[in-house]
Amino acid sequence: MPRLLLIAVVLLMVPNPEARAFPIDERAPRVMERLDRGVVAVRRDDGSVFVSWRLVATDPVGIAFDVFRSTDGEPGTKLNRTPLTGPTGLVDTEAPAGRAVEYTISPLAGNAGPDGTPPLAPEPPASFRLAADAPIGYIAIPLKTPDGYTANDASVGDLDADGQYEIVLHQASHGRDNSQRGRTGEPILEAYRLNGEFLWRINLGKNIREGAHYTQFLVYDLDGDGRAEVMCKTADGTTDGTGRTLGDASADWRNRDGHVLDGPEFLTVFDGRTGRALASADYLPPRGRVADWGDRYGNRVDRFLACVAYLDGMHPSAVFCRGYYTRTVLVARNWRGGRLERLWTFDSDAGPPANRAYRGQGNHNLAVGDVDHDGRDEIVYGACCIDDDGRGLYSTGLGHGDALHLSDIDPDRPGLEIFDIHEKPRHPHGAEFRDARTGVLIWSKPSPDVGRGIAMDIDPRHRGYETWASGNGLTGLWNIHGEVISDRKPRSCNLGVWWDGDFLREILDGNRITKWNWLRGTESPLLAARGCAANNGTKSNPCLCADILGDWREEVLWRTTDGKELRIYTTPIPTEHRLVTLMHDPQYRLSAAWQNVGYNQPTQPGFYLGDGMAIPPRPRIVVPPAPAPAVRP
């Protein structure tokens, strides 16, 4: 490595002198989704049924549950002898075969809420109906996939304030990478209820290119009214869920190479219930001069990322970004009171001279979390970090990469850590492990080019997460100290999923889930989703992997190969552990919201979730009240 470059890297790794040290915990409750019990039941191979439900962060301490099974024309049968105070799930070994059954979860409130106060109101029972012909292991959602399209990435949000998630699905036509010439299809977003009901379709139009780097969409309750909005980049010709067209419907800004380098760019907020466009503003940052982003033909100017972050510690904001190979710009917006307002802009090519160190540090993905423990979120933008107020927190100077992981990877160190990789680095830190607050390297591995990397706990013999990567010269499995603990490593480092009953994470790749056998250094199959296909080529990711139903384990959403269904696979395996739904952990929930952005990455909580973990404290959140029942005439 050249001596001057090494000096520059070391200097850039020094944290911003204005970066805050850990203060006394001043975190305020965050406004998050009100979730129902998320009851789900799936048939198992032996004919039994696994039933599970959510524990939510606002549950009273000591809450217990009764579970009832009923069949058509017969009274309900209580399945537990004593109230259930442990795991929120059970196996019904006497479920009748060939008949529809309904499982009802009845909460039995404890003495006090998580902050010592009684629950606000009694909660009615929650139910799930399992059809007589229900498939083994999954829920099928019929799709209205247009001809020439394929179901791609998905996100979830409560679009109608009923406490249940709905799915927003990106239906993708033929796409192209930014570096490729040629026209693409028109990206489409669709919304479905979990019962399969189709809600709406938004066509982003011919002036939004199709591809992983263009079509970033966020699904989140951004104004705290209990209903999630959908926010994304739009243009002339975008048609909302009610059939209304934005801008000039006849405009075609595509040049002869298929790039869109002229014409207006919008940022639009859509109503989650109807898909109706609520408000639009100019997309910021604007493209300006195309050459200012690193080339003249339209590759680097159209590299987009997006995320949701609690920048004030209590309310969510949307952050939309442009550029990461050279110029890097992030713009934070608030959607409050029916108004879309700019909060701040960070620009690597403007502002204080220190901002220049943030050029070219972005990844094909990002992460969000409270890295400095002040109650407000920062955006980990690849090899650099932007503070909640829109100022640079630090830049490592290590450059671009394809994978990024932020969590309490080493539970014995204070705060959060980051595992990051770098594509064709001009330094010896091809894979690196660093402190999330300061950016200071803890350890690194040399490689001239790293394509993929991951961090998750797969070996209980070693404290903390294991890490591994695919790249020239990188071999074996590493512990939190960077030491090789096995010459063998899993074949994939794409995604992970909490699937079976322990706190170790399983390996998710393509349409398969496997368990790492740490004694043999091999993978054991747990699930092969037959008839399903993965997305995005070698990224080989499902439409979504997140805790959207049942207990704290994750569901996996795959499309079928014929495009007719979206299948929600939920674990049929009981667990001994009781945890609050991961979707009420603020960092995990935000990671589910940005999972579809760029190159998909696995969800990560803001606490250590692995073997030997301590049960984390209840998240400090507040939720909107349940809507009043409809008045019937």
The pLDDT value recorded for residue 255 is 96
Distance CA 114, CA 580 (A): 12
Contact 220, 230 (CB under 8 A): no
Burial class (CB in 10 A: 0-12, 13-18, 19+), 193: middle
Report which DSSP code applies to 241: T
Give me the mean pLDDT over the 593-620 stretch.
96
Distance CA 300, CA 296 (A): 9
Give me the mean pLDDT over the 265-277 stretch.
98
Average pLDDT, the chain: 93
CA 251 to chain centre: 34
**Closest among 588, 463, 602, 612 to 541, alpha carbons compared:** 602
Looking at residue 135, its amino acid is: P
**Structure tokens given for 619:** 């998240």
With a CB cutoff of 8 Å and minimum separation 6, the contacts of 536 are: 152, 153, 212, 599, 600
For residue range 77-106, what is the model confidence (pLDDT) as tens digits?
A: 999 999 999 999 999 999 999 999 999 999
What φ, ψ does residue 369 adopt, rounded to 5°? Answer: -175, 165
pLDDT band with cut points at 50, 70 and 90 for residue 72: confident
DSSP assignments along 442-479, one per residue: EEEE--S-EEEEEEE---TTSSS-EEEEEETT--SEE-
For residue range 446-464, what is the model confidence (pLDDT) as tens digits?
A: 999 999 999 999 999 999 9
pLDDT at residue 288 tops 80 = yes
3-state secondary structure of 589: helix
Strand ranges in 348-503 using DSSP code E only, listed in sequence order: 367-369, 378-381, 384-386, 392-395, 404-407, 417-421, 431-435, 441-445, 450-456, 466-471, 477-478, 484-486, 495-497
Contact 469, 431 (CB under 8 A): yes
The pLDDT value recorded for residue 7 is 33
Distance CA 618, CA 621 (A): 9
Distance CA 584, CA 272 (A): 20
pLDDT band with cut points at 50, 70 and 90 for residue 25: very low
Distance CA 70, CA 353 (A): 68
Distance CA 56, CA 619 (A): 9
- Please name the helix (run of DSSP H) or strand (run of DSSP E) that holds residue 30, with its range, or none: strand 30-31
Q: What is the largest CA-CA distance in the chain?
A: 80
Distance CA 603, CA 587 (A): 9
Q: What percent of the chain has pLDDT over 70?
A: 92
For residue range 291-343, what is the model confidence (pLDDT) as tens digits?
A: 999 999 999 999 999 999 999 999 999 999 999 999 999 999 999 999 999 99
With a CB cutoff of 8 Å and minimum separation 6, the contacts of 603 are: 545, 546, 547, 554, 582, 588, 591, 592, 595
Distance CA 54, CA 625 (A): 18
